[in-house]
Amino acid sequence: MATYLLRRLLIAIPSLLGISLILFTVLALAPGDPFSEMATNPNVPPEVREALRASFGLNDPIMVRYLRWLSAMAQGDWGFSFASRINVDTLILQRVPTTLFVVGTSQILALCIALPVGIYAATRPYSIFDQIANTLAFVGFSLPTFFTGLLLILLFSIKLDWFPFVYRSDIAATGWRWYWEMFRQAIMPITVLGLFQAASYTRYVRSAVLDVIRLDYVTTARAKGLSEKRVTLRHITRNALIPVVTLVALQMPAVFGGAIVTEQIFRIPGIGSLLIDAILANDTPVIMAVTFVFACLVVLFNLIADLLYGWLDPRISFG
């Protein structure tokens, strides 16, 4: 196992380099530049824009720019944002806690709903409970988050006036009041994200459990006289976890990457809103930094998932 891990980690380095090269090329070739906002302003003469392009190095060949980025990155210099002209790492670090909190909580919420509901529904397929759970799940993923978010705002902020819908990273309160305010402002975005995610998780869990529940070893376990609870938890769930682990591993990088739409709607100052602002302003250093960290997490969690497969099903080998 240790050699396998070491080998995978060693492979990760060139593969991340390759990914970074492709990311950089895509960003460099993608249309647009950081100066669109002053385009129709006659006060900014074209020469100024041209000079700025040159001073940001946008006119150099892509490979030159990539190598410059790579060597700076190797020395821990993440570059500076074209839009705010401050260091990219400062910018990202300001956003990380909020995103981890909001998106992380919503993922936990999603799992807390999806695992019990999915398992229970699968043990009683086509029962009333299963039908209701399924229908709700379908509603969940056929409505986009921009829509459910707005629905919650209209209901809870505007009609009932219970919760604020503008998320603030600096609540001017201390002690329990701080927690209360935090809860009030975070509940809507977490619910929107959590339920959306829970909807698809539930379907996967249900399906995965259904796949194993009729296998012979489950019948054997029951025949041995084990309690239904023990059979469900120890025999069925563990074997049904492989697709779930895959999905969670797929979603983990998103806990860092944020949720673009939901963050926009509730004005959450997270990585997602940073990324979309940067993309719309063509702020390449920021996009590059966020996507590269994201790529590292994707690779890392893929590796973790592979290790977990081996633990869940010892017969899996990576020869």
139 contacts another protein (rule: CB under 8 A):
yes
Q: Which stretch binds another protein (CB under 8 A): 69-77, 104-112, 176-184, 234-242?
A: 234-242
Size of the site for another protein (CB under 8 A): 124
List the one residue from 4, 19, 100, 101 that touches another protein (CB under 8 A).
19
The 3-state secondary structure of the chain reads: CHHHHHHHHHHHHHHHHHHHHHHHHHHHHCCCCCCHHHCCCCCCCHHHHHHHHHHCCCCCCHHHHHHHHHHHHHCCCCCECCCCCCEHHHHHHHHHHHHHHHHHHHHHHHHHHHHHHHHHHHHCCCCHHHHHHHHHHHHHHHCCHHHHHHHHHHHHHHHCCCCCCCCCCCCCCCHHHHHHHHHHHHHHHHHHHHHHHHHHHHHHHHHHHHHHHCCHHHHHHHHCCCCHHHHHHHHHHHHHHHHHHHHHHHHHHHHHHCCHHHHHHHCCCCHHHHHHHHHHCCCHHHHHHHHHHHHHHHHHHHHHHHHHHHHHCCCCCCC
Q: Which is nearer to another protein, 106 or 134 (CB)?
A: 134
List the one residue from 144, 173, 178, 180 that touches another protein (CB under 8 A).
144
97 contacts another protein (rule: CB under 8 A):
no
- What's the closest the beta carbon of residue 153 comes to another protein, in angstroms? 7
259 contacts another protein (rule: CB under 8 A):
no
Tokens of 97: 């806690």
Q: Which is nearer to another protein, 53 or 105 (CB)?
A: 53
91 contacts another protein (rule: CB under 8 A):
yes
Measured CA distances, 19 to 8, 15, 16, 25, 113 (Å) = 16, 6, 5, 10, 35
- What's the closest the beta carbon of residue 238 comes to another protein, in angstroms? 5
96 contacts another protein (rule: CB under 8 A):
no
29 contacts another protein (rule: CB under 8 A):
yes
316 contacts another protein (rule: CB under 8 A):
yes
List the one residue from 9, 17, 50, 57 that touches another protein (CB under 8 A).
50
Give backbone dihedrals phi and psi of 87, rounded to 5 degrees, phi first: -65, 140
- What's the closest the beta carbon of residue 152 comes to another protein, in angstroms? 11
Q: Which stretch binds another protein (CB under 8 A): 19-27, 64-72, 103-111, 174-182?
A: 19-27
- What's the closest the beta carbon of residue 162 comes to another protein, in angstroms? 11
280 contacts another protein (rule: CB under 8 A):
yes
Q: Which residues contact 314 (CB under 8 A, 6 or more apart)?
A: none
- What's the closest the beta carbon of residue 58 comes to another protein, in angstroms? 9
174 contacts another protein (rule: CB under 8 A):
no
Q: Which is nearer to another protein, 71 or 131 (CB)?
A: 131
Q: Which is nearer to another protein, 64 or 139 (CB)?
A: 139
171 contacts another protein (rule: CB under 8 A):
no
210 contacts another protein (rule: CB under 8 A):
yes
Q: How far apart are CA 107 and CA 301, in angstroms?
A: 15
68 contacts another protein (rule: CB under 8 A):
no
273 contacts another protein (rule: CB under 8 A):
yes
